[in-house]
């Protein structure tokens, strides 16, 4: 059954995003009810995993917005021109765990979610685009921006400390 197959992934994702197991319980419940109620809207264009993840992420974002825990992307960043510089994944992989946790709290919620999708859930650019209802090139740009912001913040916060 769908519940047995996806409940663990949905529940744990809710905990990761809300940091609250009680809230995660309620959200998991709501996500499965929403999925059941809107199953007819699943057209099979994406995998079922992507479809249920889209509901999960959107439900969590709604909760974070209502609870004033949603960190919006600064307007300057939204207008930031697309960068062609590919950020090496190796740089991200070298970020220490405790530092990464702190950095993720200080970038926008959308950027955090995009990075989770790409590096925790292993979603493709196409799948990320489908969750955010944007094209592949826009999704690729947003992944790149999120990576850049995290690395920039990391460099600003920790790299200079080596010299002092």
Applying CB under 8 A, does 40 fall inside the site for another protein?
no
| Residue 154 binds another protein, judged by CB under 8 A | no
Q: Which of 5, 101, 102, 105 binds another protein (CB under 8 A)?
A: 101
In this chain, which of 72, 88, 96, 106 binds another protein, going by CB under 8 A? 96
Q: Binding segment for another protein among 5-13, 47-55, 140-148, 153-161 (CB under 8 A)?
A: 5-13
**Residue number with CB closer to another protein (65 or 102):** 102
Question: According to the binding rule CB under 8 A, does residue 38 interact with another protein?
Answer: no
Q: Which stretch binds another protein (CB under 8 A): 7-15, 59-67, 76-84, 139-147?
A: 7-15
> Among 48, 70, 116, 158, which residue sits at the site for another protein (rule: CB under 8 A)?
116
Nearest to 114 by CA among 93, 140, 143, 88: 143
Give the up-direction half-sphere exposure of residue 54: CA atoms within 13 A in the CB hemisphere.
20
Binding residues for another protein, rule: CB under 8 A, are 3, 7-8, 11-12, 15-16, 21, 25, 28-29, 32-33, 36-37, 92-93, 95-97, 100-101, 104, 115-116, 119-120
């Amino acid at each position: 059954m769908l519940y047995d197959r996806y409940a663990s992934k949905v529940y744990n994702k809710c905990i990761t995003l809300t940091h609250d197991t009680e809230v995660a319980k309620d959200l998991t419940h709501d996500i499965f009810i929403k999925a059941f109620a809107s199953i007819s809207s699943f057209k099979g264009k994406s995998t079922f995993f992507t479809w249920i993840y889209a509901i999960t992420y959107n439900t969590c974002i709604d909760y974070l917005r209502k609870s004033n825990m949603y960190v919006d992307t600064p307007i300057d960043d939204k207008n930031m021109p697309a960068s062609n510089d590919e950020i090496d994944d190796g740089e991200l992989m070298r970020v220490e765990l405790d530092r990464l946790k702190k950095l993720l709290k200080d970038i926008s919620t959308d950027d955090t979610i995009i990075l989770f999708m790409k590096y925790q859930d292993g979603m493709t650019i196409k799948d990320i685009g489908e969750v955010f209802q944007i094209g592949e090139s826009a999704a690729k740009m947003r992944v790149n921006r999120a990576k850049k912001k995290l690395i920039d913040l990391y460099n600003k916060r920790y790299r200079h400390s080596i010299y002092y």
